[in-house]
Homo-oligomer: A and B are copies of this chain.
Amino acid sequence: MSKNLTKRSEDYSKWYNELVIKADLAEMSGVRGCMVIKPYGYAIWEKMQSELDRMFKETGHENAYFPIFIPKSYFSKEASHVDGFAKECAVVTHYRLKNAEDGSGIVVDEDAKLEEELIVRPTSETIIWDTYRKWVQSYRDLPILVNQWANVVRWEMRTRLFLRTAEFLWQEGHTAHATKKEAITEAEQMQNVYANFAENFMAMPVIKGTKTETERFAGALETYTIEALMQDGKALQAGTSHFLGQNFAKAFDVKFTSKEGKLEHVWATSWGVSTRLMGALVMTHSDDKGLVLPPNLAPIQVVIVPIYKGEEQLQMISEKANQIMNELRIKGISVKFDNRDTHKPGWKFAEYELKGVPLRIAMGPRDMENGTVELARRDTLTKEIVKQEELVTTIESLLIEIQQSLYNKAKDYRDQHITKVDTFEEFKSVLNDKGGFISAHWDGTAETENKIKDLTKATIRCIPIDSIEEEGICVFSGKPSSKRVLFAKAY
Chain A: residues with CB nearer than 8 A to chain B?
Answer: 27, 29-31, 34-39, 42-43, 45-46, 62-72, 74-76, 82, 86-98, 105-108, 117-120, 127, 130-131, 134, 140, 146, 150-151, 153, 155, 167, 169, 342
Contacts and interface: CB of A to CB of B under 8 A. Distances in A.
A63 B39 contact: yes
B65 A37 contact: yes
A87 B99 CA distance: 10
Most B-side CB within 10 Å, residue of A36, A108, A120? A36
A64 B38 contact: yes
Nearest to A79: B106
Given A92-B92, A98-B86, A151-B151, A66 B29 contact: yes
21 contacts: A31-B69, A34-B69, A35-B67, A36-B64, A36-B65, A37-B64, A39-B62, A39-B64, A46-B63, A68-B68, A68-B153, A68-B167, A72-B106, A76-B106, A82-B106, A86-B97, A90-B118, A93-B93, A93-B94, A108-B117, A150-B151
Contacts of A38: 64
A255 to B, nearest CB: 18
Most B-side CB within 10 Å, residue of A66, A67, A92, A97? A67
Nearest to A133: B30
A-B pairs, 6 with minimum CB distance: A34-B67, A39-B62, A86-B97, A37-B65, A95-B155, A76-B106
Contacts of A97: 72, 75, 82, 86-87, 89, 91, 119
Contacts of A72: 97, 106-108
B74 A91 contact: no
Given A63-B46, A91-B108, A97-B89, A151 B29 contact: no
A75 B74 CA distance: 30
A242 to B, nearest CB: 21
Nearest to A116: B32
A118 B92 CA distance: 9
Most B-side CB within 10 Å, residue of A74, A82, A93? A93
Contacts of A108: 72, 91, 93, 117
Nearest to A39: B62
Contacts of A107: 72
A291 to B, nearest CB: 17
A106 B86 CA distance: 9
Contacts of A130: 29-30
A105 to B, nearest CB: 6
Contacts of A94: 90-91, 93
A184 to B, nearest CB: 23
B30 A127 contact: yes
Contact of A39 (B30, B69, B71, B146): B146
A132 to B, nearest CB: 10
A29 B146 contact: no
A39 B169 CA distance: 20
A352 B349 CA distance: 56
A96 B88 contact: yes
A31 B86 contact: no
A92 B91 contact: yes
A119 B106 CA distance: 12
A69 B108 CA distance: 15
A484 to B, nearest CB: 38
Nearest to A96: B87
Nearest to A138: B342
Given A42-B62, A65-B36, A90 B92 contact: yes
A71 B108 CA distance: 12
A415 B130 CA distance: 45
A104 B62 CA distance: 39
Contacts of A91: 92-97, 108
